[in-house]
Amino acid sequence: MKERLEFLLLLSITLSGLWCQTSTSLSVTEGQRAALSCLLLPDNSTGVVSWYRQSPGEGPHLVLTYHLNNTSKVLYGHGFNSSRFTVFTKENETFQHQLLIRTTTDDTAVYYCGMSTLQLGRK
């Protein structure tokens, strides 16, 4: 029997003085894909988006990070890879970022999404 997995997405974002926070709960069966959405309202296209996962009893771990306008160059945190974690964006009136997870029982966690204006690979 496949196990049900619980996801809680907490978004806590600081953008040019604008702070917003939201939470969403998602339940899927092990092996299904889970899609977590993050709405960002950047004032330009030079930011970096990061996703973190916090499993019960642990601190947050970086899942992946990428430039706001380029999801083809994703940097993965230790233990995370493109075979199970992928991202894409939808640009309408706002930027909608989605994290797709091919789920296992280890994915039961709280997920965080945020944006920084720092650039990857720049000093």
Q: What's the pLDDT at 29?
A: 83
Give strand ranges (E) for 30-83: 33-40, 48-54, 61-67, 70-76
Q: Which CATH number fits domain 4-116: 3.90.1280.10, 2.60.40.10, 3.40.30.120, 3.40.50.1010?
A: 2.60.40.10
Q: Which residues of the chain have pLDDT under 70?
A: 1-23, 42-45, 91-94, 118-123
Asked if residue 39 lies in contact with residue 23, where contact means CB atoms within 8 angstroms, the answer is: no
Q: What is the pLDDT of residues 71-98, one digit of tens each?
A: 888 999 999 999 999 998 876 645 778 8
Asked if residue 50 lies in contact with residue 40, where contact means CB atoms within 8 angstroms, the answer is: no
pTM for this entry: 0.76
Q: What's the pLDDT at 71?
A: 81
Question: Domain spans of the chain?
Answer: 4-116
